[in-house]
Amino acid sequence: MRRLRGALTPYLLMLPAGLWLLVFFAIPLVYMASVSLMTGNLIDGWKLTWHWQNYTEGLDVYGDKLLRSLWYGLIATVACIVLAYPAAYWIAFKGGRHKSTWLFLLLLPFFVSFVLRTISWKLVLTDNGPILGPLKSWGLLPDGFHVLDSGFAVISGLTYNFLPFMVLPIYVALERIDYRTIEAAYDLYAGRVEVFRRVVLPLSLPGVFAGVIMTFVPVTSDYVNAQVLGGPGNTMIGNVIQAEYFTNSNYHTASALSFTLMALLLIGIFAYARALGTKDVLEAAGR
């Protein structure tokens, strides 16, 4: 009896989370998958007709938005790496006794609601707002200059909003590096640049890898930034899905687009993992 209970313990421990995921993830996912193959409308209702054209039609109409989302996601993710790495590096190696304070300061803005932060960006960057207004009146910028309603504004907002998801994993990876391996590299005639390139960078790559997954996926499917900071020319696939679902009640189109996006993200992440996540890549960097 005791032995049986011992054997069951791991499964019992998994049960709550497993049930949670089943009810709130697996079942809705299967349901949405079936919706993506339905045809119908609000008046007649929907029927599962295995209408694969939902996918091709979605791609035909919104393919450009899908591509734009992947493109914005890519740029914002790279921008996150560029901004997050030096900050994480500085905190991990030069933060001294105040490491947690610096991390907290970095994360402080993110205690404010996501939507509120994005809207406040809009207030700051508005055409005659506190930044652009004075610059224009001093003649430093042309009158027609604007930041909002541009891809630049959307990507900046995305970068800002998802920065902590890049900082934290990189910080953790850097923090875990045994400082003596760095000293060993110096001892073995490596200069500062070489120590970084051969030891610190390869050892922190797993953190960058985790950060990329944690930012690229939500950034690509985000719709708040494009809605608040972008204009009609910067619509992302998230906005399309939201509009199709809540405004146009085209549930089948929204579902088909969601699954298309999901498939693209999974393919992208797996390709990335294959290319960067292997031991050989790290070793090549150290050689």
Partner 1 sequence: MTETSHPPVRDDQETSGSALPAIELTGVMKEYHAHGEKVAAVRGIDLAIGQGEFFSLLGPSGCGKTTTMRMIAGFEEPTGGEVLLNGKPVTDVPANKRDVNMVFQSYALFPHMSVFENVAFGLRRKGVAKDEIRRRVAAMLDIVDLAGREKRRPGELSGGQQQRVALARALVNRPRALLLDEPLGALDLKLRQHMQVELKRIQREVGITFVYVTHDQSEALTMSDRIAVMNDGRIEQLGSPREIYERPASKFVAGFIGTSNLLAGEIGEVRDTEAFITYGGDGQIVVPLDGRTAAPGDRLELTVRPEKIEIATQPPGGNGAGSAGGGYSGSRVRAKVAEVVYLGTSTNYIVTTAAGDEVTVFLQNATNADDIAGRGDDVWLSWEPRHSYAIGAS
- Judged by the rule CB under 8 A, the positions of this chain that interact with partner 1 are 178, 180-181, 183-191, 194, 198-199, 202-203, 279, 282-283, 285-287
Q: How far apart are CA 144 and CA 211, in angstroms?
A: 37
Minimum CB separation of residue 195 from partner 1 in Å reads 8
Our CB check for partner 1 shows the closer of 57 and 175 to be: 175
**Which lies closer to partner 1 via its Cβ, residue 134 or residue 191?**
191
Give the shortest CB-154-to-partner 1 separation in angstroms: 37
CA dihedral angle for residue 168, residue 174, residue 178, residue 179, rounded to 10 degrees: -130
Helix (H, G, I), strand (E, B) or coil at 62: helix
Rounded to an integer, what distance in angstroms lies between the CA atom of residue 211 and that of residue 276? 13
Place of tokens 């005659």: 128
Least Å from the CB of residue 180 to partner 1: 4
List Cα–Cα distances, 81 to 125, 152, 186, in angstroms: 24, 17, 26
CB atoms within 10 A of CB 155: 24
Based on CB atoms, which residue is closest to partner 1, 85 or 251? 85
Q: How far is the CB of 286 from partner 1 (least distance, A)?
A: 5
Nearer to partner 1, 130 or 286 (CB): 286
- Cβ nearer to partner 1, comparing 60 with 187: 187
Q: Is 21 helix (H, G, I), strand (E, B) or coil?
A: helix
> To the nearest whole angstrom, how small is the minimum distance from the Cβ of residue 102 to partner 1?
20
Cβ atoms 240, 257 nearer than 8 A: yes
Shortest distance, position 202 Cβ to partner 1, whole Å: 5
C-alpha 163/C-alpha 114 separation (Å) is: 12
Spatial separation of the C-alpha atoms in residues 106 and 81, rounded to whole Å: 15
For partner 1, the closer of residues 231 and 277 by Cβ is: 277
